[in-house]
Structure 1
Amino acid sequence: MIPSGQRHHWMDALRGAAVLLVALWHAFSIPYRETPPGIEWAFDFLSVYRIPLLMFLSGLLLDHSLSKPVSAYVGGKLRRIAWPLLVWSLVLILIAWRAAKPDSVGFWFGEDSHLWYLGVLLVCYAIGFLTRWVHPVVFLIVGVPAMELVQTENWLINSTLWFGLFFFAGATMSRWLAWWLARGPVLPSIALLAASAWAAYSATVHGYAPVAHWRPLAFSLAGVIGLVWFAARMRRARWLEWVGQRSIVFYVAHVPFIWIVTVLAVGSLPPPVTYALVLVVTGAGCWMLARHLAGSILFVFPRLPVRRRPEAAGEPLATPPGS
């Protein structure tokens, strides 16, 4: 388990890099139906790392979250995941009301939008509560054959069976993290090279990396675990850490910016100018929100004031300032 109060800055940097890759992918894939071939290949290659890395990092911190009281665990996930999911689902209705489907339950879990990740993450944290009594590796052992065998039309079940495996792999790895980081470079290098070779092959042959099979799962996990080893040894990238600490802002807000610029620019400007405008507006908009409003009600539900009863008659409800 990652010690309470100990912050691994490389985790913030990896999270920041992953969320920026997601935003960049959408910046090139949303404005036009066809992404430039070289760029499309690069993002197909990176699909082995993007969301799997985000899920894995969340799993790494599961034990730390579970060390808190149950009310804090549940409240934290509702305030910091369920709330922005709700708020930005409403934003999507406002800016894309013709395409939104608010009458569908799936819509409120992010179906057909980039917010699906938050819906899946919520389900993973709900299941993850059981790791108080069951080792997370059990969910991996059960989840791999379930991912292969379960065939359903429910996107939330399918996505949880796939991306949830990365979450519980991270939860399992958290108990071996110190051991892994103490290894030499040979195994991490082999893992990263094997995953990258698979990613190149998959991007060339399949396009976007296939899911719901053990082979892409194994290679993607190897790549993520290899990245963790190398990231822990790299020089600090404070700007990436800053993005990672505010990753929810960049994740939920980037698509609305992209969509608005796309509506205004596509058809009136040439593609290179449109892409440049999308990148500038989205980057600046997300930065401004993260800089000034990251702690606002747009991204986190405020803590409700709790009145405490005095333990004894005459005891003050709060310690006076300066005492």
Structure 2
Amino acid sequence: MDGLRGLAIVLIVELHASAIMRMHGINPSPVLEWLDVAVYPFRIPLLMLLSGMLLPASLAKGPRRYLVGKARTILWPYAVWSLLLVLAYDFVPWSSLLDAILAPSSHLWFLQALLVAYLAALALRRVPTWASALGAFAAAGALRLVDLPEWAAQMQPERLLTMLGYFLVGALLRRHWDVAERWLRRAWVLAVLVAGAVGLVAISLAPGVRLSYTMAQYAPLVVMGALALVAIALRLRWTSPPARLLRAIGRDSIVFYVTHWFVVMAVLWPLWLVPDFVPLDVHLLAVAAALLAGGVVAWLSHRVRVVRLLFRI
């Protein structure tokens, strides 16, 4: 789990580096642009599915400890880093902070979706998990047919419901792990899952197609891709230096996730001072800097109380 979370974080950092380069009017390397398209549908859903696998153990603690734990480890860093983001990019922070929390337009939306998923899962704990997951995807699909008022549309309920669906798929996978693992280790099952993932990538590369993992109609193929990554991970030993590095990133995934945007922005912003640069080199430099800075902050968060308070209380 830690290794897959680390892989998802690295791919997310790379994607956001591409996005920030485009914000500066710089076209990323064609190779990395193709990589972005190929793995775009699976990054966040994989992270959400893995989070859902932790749900049964969290629910076993009881509602009070469950809610307190999520407030300390998700709501707190979401509020802290939303405030820091507003202070960094807005001169009227108090009027913008509520918008940043209720309708986030930054990378922090994932923490909002994760918090909503945990709250919804608690409310739906008496409902069969498979039914809740299907209901979440169905509700997300139905919302596409509804003309929502502007204030509701800004909160992106379709995205929240789709993320809830992936989260509950992860919970369902964990509840039936003994059976699921046996199936995921079968070669033909892996081949089918990979075929589904490849099919989704082929659709995303088709001209004129606007594909997003937040669209419920693509959820089955997205889930197949995420499960293919889980099946592949089961076949790896995770003992090589790169694998240990991914596991370390995965253990402190929230630190890397919330900090990387600031680092990539800081690296890419002064590019106008450089007359000649190679986009690929700058891209890789931004990703490496974000991961290195995240590693330093993660190390400090385990040793310095003030730093730890940025991520949990």
How many angstroms does 1:299 deviate by? 0.9
Match of 2:117 among 120, 124, 131: 124
Letter in 1 for 2:72: R
Work out whether 1:286 is the aligned partner of 2:294.
Answer: yes
Letter in 2 for 1:25: L
Q: Going by fraction, where is helix more abundant, 1 or 2?
A: 2
Q: Could you tell me which residue of structure 2 aligns to residue 263 of structure 1? A: 269
Contact persistence 2:82–2:97 (CA under 8 A): no
Q: Which moved more, 1:242-251 or 1:83-92?
A: 83-92
Question: In 2, distance between residues paired with 1:208 and 1:291?
Answer: 40
Q: Could you tell me which residue of structure 2 aligns to residue 24 of structure 1? A: 14
Q: Give the TM-score taking structure 2 as reference length.
A: 0.85
Work out whether 1:252 is the aligned partner of 2:251.
Answer: no
Question: In 2, distance between residues paired with 1:299 and 1:157?
Answer: 26
Match of 2:246 among 233, 240, 243: 240
Contact persistence 1:23–1:254 (CA under 8 A): yes
Q: Could you tell me which residue of structure 2 aligns to residue 311 of structure 1? A: none
* Structure 2 unaligned spans of 5+: none
Contact persistence 1:84–1:298 (CA under 8 A): yes
Contact persistence 1:246–1:294 (CA under 8 A): no
Question: Which 4+ residue blocks in structure 1 deviate beyond 6 angstroms?
Answer: none
Letter in 1 for 2:15: W
How many angstroms does 1:181 deviate by? 0.9
Contact persistence 1:86–1:108 (CA under 8 A): yes
Work out whether 1:173 is the aligned partner of 2:143.
Answer: no
| Larger of the two Rg values belongs to structure | 1
Question: In 2, distance between residues paired with 1:208 and 1:250?
Answer: 29
Letter in 1 for 2:244: R
Q: Could you tell me which residue of structure 2 aligns to residue 133 of structure 1? A: 126
Residue 174 of structure 1 aligns to a residue whose secondary structure is helix
How many angstroms does 1:217 deviate by? 0.8
The 1:274–1:95 alpha-carbon spacing in structure 2 relative to 1, beyond 3 Å, is farther
Work out whether 1:221 is the aligned partner of 2:239.
Answer: no
Letter in 2 for 1:193: A
* Structure 1 unaligned spans of 5+: 1-10, 302-323
Contact persistence 1:147–1:162 (CA under 8 A): yes
Question: In 1, distance between residues paired with 2:122 and 2:209?
Answer: 35
How many angstroms does 1:230 deviate by? 2.0
Question: In 2, distance between residues paired with 1:286 and 1:233?
Answer: 28
Superposition map of 1:38-187 within 5 A: 38-97=31-90, 102-103=95-96, 105-109=98-102, 111-150=104-143, 151=146, 152=148, 153-183=153-183, 184-187=186-189
Question: In 1, distance between residues paired with 2:91 and 2:39?
Answer: 31
The 1:199–1:101 alpha-carbon spacing in structure 2 relative to 1, beyond 3 Å, is farther
Letter in 1 for 2:112: G
Contact persistence 2:83–2:93 (CA under 8 A): no
Superposition map of 1:195-206 within 5 A: 195-205=197-207
The 1:210–1:282 alpha-carbon spacing in structure 2 relative to 1, beyond 3 Å, is closer
Question: In 2, distance between residues paired with 1:171 and 1:177?
Answer: 10
Percent identity (aligned) = 29
Question: What is the alpha-carbon root mean square deviation over aligned residues?
Answer: 2.3
Q: Which moved more, 1:182-191 or 1:118-127?
A: 182-191
